[in-house]
Structure 1
């Protein structure tokens, strides 16, 4: 099985706590996973960062490297941004790259890297007028978008990790 390089980028939303299992699932599908986190997601997972780096075989990144430092990650064959919060979706669509993960996602679009995202916002934020504009912008740029309602619920809907990885597998056929 040929290994393909996947940038798995995660924002701070509760599904980020499942990332180790998602990495293992992606690896079982033949992906070499590089994990990037927003600074808040890195804070949430601070106690697991060394273990996640060992699991992926790559440094977990949440900030830009210094000028002149080598990039230790391979170039991506595909990108999965999940969960992609309200802030992330809007920043990515607008090209606001002050966070590493959004910068990597923006570069992926510019490079034509197959990209999938799972938008994860509660119903109040999803009702904001900019959100649908941003989703449409990302769709128009070729991002495969899945949705997850992050509103509080007695029985929350499961996060669509499997569907997201399936989407990557479909795009990998074209790689």
Structure 2
């Protein structure tokens, strides 16, 4: 794969809104980003892989490359949306047991800006491990959009897909810096 200017990796996790990830892709492209979608293994059942590939002009990635495959270009920024309870907690702990989490584990150390917009219900958002993870990520400079500035968890059993604010993830990221890539 060739180098891409202004490359935004959009990491999609297995949550209800994932089926609408194309909305995030369109919004990011409208701001001047070249988008690469990375789906967690569980998210593959939630997204239309072929449609996202057509939309971005790049195959959706979900696994590490094999030794004979070319190294993919490094992202200029990463958005994780929707971010599940597991992904937020694993990211905060530095666990890299999937390709998506491997990218996230390295990003803060490489200086890559990361925006995370969780999609969790109120019961999960209230858990101490999750609250600690959000604090830890913010302390490392990760922009976590939760509550008034992002996704506000409703009562358990609500439909987050209808209220998921994709536009806030792109707004938090902003336009790409000219000449990056």
TM-based fold match above 0.5: yes
Q: Is the 8 A contact 2:16 2:161 kept in 1?
A: no
Compute the RMSD of aligned alpha carbons. Answer: 2.2
Deviation at 1:153, TM superposition (A): 2.9
The C-alpha deviation readout for 1:40-64, integer Å capped at 9, x for no partner, is: 111222xx21221121111101111
Bigger fraction of residues in strand = 1
Runs of 4+ in structure 1 off by over 4 angstroms are: 154-157
Alignment of 1:94-173 (within 5 A): 94-147=93-146, 148=151, 149=153, 151-153=156-158, 158-169=163-174, 172=176
**Who is 2:8 aligned against?**
6
Which ranges of structure 2 fall in alignment gaps of 5 or more residues? none
Greater shift in the superposed pair: 24-33 or 118-127: 118-127
Aligned residues: 170
Structure of higher RCO (CA pairs closer than 8 Å, 6+ residues apart) = 2
TM-score w.r.t. the length of structure 2 is 0.85
Change (3 A) 1:78 1:22: same
Q: CA contact under 8 A between 1:3 and 1:30: conserved in structure 2? A: no
Structure 2 counterparts to residues 60-75 of structure 1, below 5 A: 60-71=60-71, 73-75=72-74
Q: Structure 1 length normalisation: TM-score?
A: 0.88
3-state SS, counterpart of residue 79 of structure 1 = strand
